[in-house]
Amino acid sequence: MATIRELARHCGVSVATVSRVFNTPEVVSQATRQKVEAAAAEIGYLPNESARTLATKKSNTIGLVWDIDHRRSGWRHPFLQEILVALKTALSAHGLHLLLLATGADGPDRHLRSIQRHNLDGVVLIDNGSRDPAVLGLAEAGIPCVALDLPLTGPRCTYVTSDNHGGAREAVSYLLARGHRRIATITGPARTGPGADRLDGFRAELAARGVPLPAEYVAQGDFYLDSGRNAMRDLLLLDTPPTAVFAAGDEMAVGAMQAATEAGLRVPAHVSIVGFDDIELAALIPPGLTTISQDRAGFGTAAAEALIAMIQAPEDAPPPSPIILPTSLVRRGTA
């Protein structure tokens, strides 16, 4: 691989000029930039990333704080993985790398220490919804930060989420239109934005339509399959079981379908089920899960664009407004 000195000799310019072409190109004439860049491609010169970071004070690297409980079974939720792929793709299109940060350290400044250690340009946060001081500290630190599904704001911090409240209302409205009046829900964790908003939307639509909601029709879940199966078993054991269930996540909906089948019931002949997310499995498991679809690719792209906007803006510029993506009902065979 060619060195910077060899490139400088090849072009007939100084080493300092070559350095400026790759680190501060705005101070170099267009003709010189084009000459050096063409020569670099010809002789196979690649600028040293570590040296570039020192010169520009930018690493072209975004940190990913994925602070959920990785020790539990089933933490690899398919919806989160699809968002991550879209995020990485969008950042790569702008020449930015994505670095997964360790989250096992203790202390309220653990995330900030990692960001400073790696000289990161910004951070994307996926959190379990806790009010962790380390998470709140990120929002107030003045580092470009975008949170996913967590209503976090600060001087240079915004968030991306879906219309969880509206999507839940649409699910309930659909079940009501199908003639159901005994409608239960399997919730997500109340500490999370999506979990709380989907439950609020569920309650709001039933109340607006004058449909009663017995307390026992609200079963707790955690967005994962086993909790959906266990909650559905409890709902089916009630003296007056529901005829329809809105599960606040597709994995829980699949678990609910399994529990119904184990109880000798057919979906939707005996009980209808609607999910939320539209993960890939929703279209594959028979008879096909009716669900509320989120824009998974849009999630990652919106987060990347908001982060890039903050990185490029002056430090005293206000952050982008929170981004709320629309949802839509996908009709399949379970309701």
At 224-253, the pLDDT tens digits run: 999 999 999 999 999 999 999 999 999 999
CA separation for the pair 274, 174 (Å, rounded)? 9
| Chain position carrying tokens 């398919």 | 78
* Contact predicate 170/327, CB 8 Å: yes
Query: Which pLDDT belongs to residue 71?
Result: 40
pLDDT in tens, 261-288: 999 999 999 999 999 999 989 999 999 9
Q: For residue 99, give the H/E element and its range.
A: strand 97-100
Tell me how far the alpha carbon of residue 265 is from its chain's centroid.
35
In the numeric block, which tokens belong to residue 200? 């609020």
Burial class (CB in 10 A: 0-12, 13-18, 19+), 96: buried
Query: Which pLDDT belongs to residue 41?
Result: 83
pLDDT in tens, 162-194: 999 999 999 999 999 999 999 999 999 998 899
DSSP 317: S
User: Could you tell me whether strands 328-330 and 290-293 are parallel, antiparallel, or unpaired per DSSP bridges?
Assistant: antiparallel
The residues facing 291 across adjacent strands are: 275, 330
CA separation for the pair 38, 31 (Å, rounded)? 11
Query: Which pLDDT belongs to residue 112?
Result: 77
Q: Quick one: which of 133, 115, 138, 124 has its CA closest to 80?
A: 124
Query: Which pLDDT belongs to residue 75?
Result: 47
In the numeric block, which tokens belong to residue 226? 């086993």
Query: Which pLDDT belongs to residue 291?
Result: 98
In the numeric block, which tokens belong to residue 79? 């919806």
Per-residue pLDDT averaged across 38-55, rounded?
Answer: 67
Measured between its terminal Cα atoms, the distance across the chain in Å is 61
pLDDT at 44 exceeding the cut of 90: no
pLDDT at 24 exceeding the cut of 90: no
Question: What CATH topology corresponds to 4-56?
Answer: 434 Repressor (Amino-terminal Domain) (1.10.260)
Question: 68 falls in which pLDDT band (50, 70, 90)?
Answer: low
> Is the alpha carbon torsion for 190, 76, 174, 256 positive or negative?
negative
CA separation for the pair 199, 144 (Å, rounded)? 31
Question: 129 falls in which pLDDT band (50, 70, 90)?
Answer: low
In whole angstroms, how far apart are CA 170 and each of 38, 198, 216, 274, 291?
A: 56, 11, 22, 10, 10
More confident residue, 44 or 304: 304
**Domain 61-162+297-325 = CATH 3.40.830.10:** no
* Contact predicate 267/261, CB 8 Å: yes
Query: Which pLDDT belongs to residue 173?
Result: 98
Query: Which pLDDT belongs to residue 243?
Result: 98
Question: 76 falls in which pLDDT band (50, 70, 90)?
Answer: low
Q: Quote the crossing angle between the two packed helices 15-23 and 4-11, to the nearest 10°.
A: 110
| Chain position carrying tokens 């908001």 | 306
Query: Which pLDDT belongs to residue 223?
Result: 92
Query: Which pLDDT belongs to residue 50?
Result: 47
Per-residue pLDDT averaged across 144-167, rounded?
Answer: 93
CA separation for the pair 260, 116 (Å, rounded)? 51
Q: Quote the crossing angle between the two packed helices 30-43 and 15-23, to the nearest 10°.
A: 100
According to CATH, where is 1.10.260.40 located in the chain? 4-56
Per-residue pLDDT averaged across 82-98, rounded?
Answer: 87
Q: Which CATH class, in words, describes the domain spanning 164-293? A: alpha beta
According to CATH, where is 3.40.50.2300 located in the chain? 61-162+297-325, 164-293
In the numeric block, which tokens belong to residue 219? 């079963």
Per-residue pLDDT averaged across 39-45, rounded?
Answer: 83
Instruction: Tell me the longest C-alpha to C-alpha distance in the chain.
Output: 88
